[in-house]
Structure 1
Amino acid sequence: MTLSTEHTALVLVDVQEAFAEREAAGERRNNPGAGERIAALLAAFRTAGASVIHVRHASRAEGSRLRPERPGYAVMECAREVSGEPVLVKSVNSAFIGTDLEERLRAGGIATVTIVGATTNHCCETTTRMAGNLGFEALFVRDATWTFDMPGADGGTIPAQTIHDVTLANLSGEFARIVTAQEVIDALARR
């Protein structure tokens, strides 16, 4: 795989402190090294001069850790923005709804979006599905996304890794190419 820095963007979805708070509160997640891989991808995109777009979730739900006035709304250290990098704010799962993400990508000549963040099966998956439906090539970075255990519809708990794996299977081929952070970093270096 090779990536054109002029036509590729890194889209960081909801890399916010609310998810660190959930983990600190005892919720089990997968991909504990996702933050380090996000930081490495961010550094690689910046070094290559490729586009970087940050997306934050501003929840409207009462009590949500992701409400803008709560500490959980803040960006995690691994994904800190720098001057000139856009920060889009959404209040639904898809980064394309209620933002100018699609317009930014098209105006910038971006054909490929590389998606990282939280959570795998909610905002990352929804954004990826829409990217594919809108005609963008979506790269879903399997080791730079993560999720949490969830209650099953019929009781019990579905492990985070199972949810993550099923999401990857759902996206693979039709909506996205499933990749690792290192594959993307190597592809940027080959440009």
Structure 2
Amino acid sequence: MTHPAQTLLQMTGANTDPAPLDRAALVIIDAQREYATGRLALPRIEAALAEAGRLLELARRRRVPVFHIVQHSPPGRGVFDETGPYVEILPQVAPQPGEPVIRKRLPNAFAGTDLADRIRLTGRTEVILAGFMTHMCVSATARAALDLGLRATVVAGATATRDLPDPLGGIIPEETVHRTALAELADRFAVVVPGTAALARTDAAAEATT
């Protein structure tokens, strides 16, 4: 007997609602110039940055703690040279005073950083993730969040990725990589929502009661 496709979260009756803004911290991952004009320039970067900007505006309006994650690599690695211009945060999501900027070396934003400790100090138990790339640092961070007891919500429209070489031959288009990475996360690791509007509904409900 064939059953309709369901995620593991759905099969087990887990909560699949997006993160309530009053319980979440926003983590913007690697929104850096490398992905706009560097060797890793992404084809959908502008649309994703616009959505990330809307998400950031909502978070600030609702006083959600915001953390900016940046990749830094030693000179000679080819990308994210920490001595060059491509590690700069893009202006669409530039930090405001008081918003921490946390450097990392690995795809997982929690690895080798104090991000988890900083989030715990806010009292928040969920994270909202945006940034780059969908299949790499966003995915690694969402998976690690589960291990750390933090429920993750990924805003799909505020992420993007690139074409990848298929190890079995050919090229996998970036849209396929993006959709597949999101489907993998939604199966067990995170709630995935299309855009900021899914979170803004929580925002509107909160404002209506104040």
Query: What TM-score results when the alignment is normalised by the length of structure 1?
Result: 0.91
Question: Counterpart of 1:114?
Answer: 128
CA contact (8 A) 1:148 1:160 kept: yes
Deviation at 1:5, TM superposition (A): 3.9
Question: Counterpart of 1:182?
Answer: 197
Does residue 149 of structure 2 align to residue 131 of structure 1?
no
Does residue 84 of structure 2 align to residue 70 of structure 1?
yes
Amino acid at match of 1:10: L
Aligned Cα RMSD in Å? 1.9
CA contact (8 A) 2:34 2:41 kept: no
Cα 1:44/1:134, change in 2 over 3 Å: same
CA contact (8 A) 2:73 2:105 kept: yes
Question: Counterpart of 2:35?
Answer: 19
Q: Which moved more, 1:158-167 or 1:62-71?
A: 62-71
CA contact (8 A) 1:150 1:157 kept: yes
Larger radius of gyration: 2
1:156-185 CA distance string (max 9 Å, x none) = 111000001110111114110001222122
Deviation at 1:109, TM superposition (A): 0.8
Select the structure with the greater relative contact order (CA < 8 A; seq sep ≥ 6): 1
Query: What TM-score results when the alignment is normalised by the length of structure 2?
Result: 0.84
Question: Counterpart of 1:92?
Answer: 106
Q: How many pairs were matched up?
A: 189
Q: Which runs of 5+ in 2 are unaligned?
A: 1-16
Structure 2: how far apart are the matches of 1:104 and 1:4?
A: 19
CA contact (8 A) 1:133 1:175 kept: no
SS at match of 1:128: helix
Identity %: 30
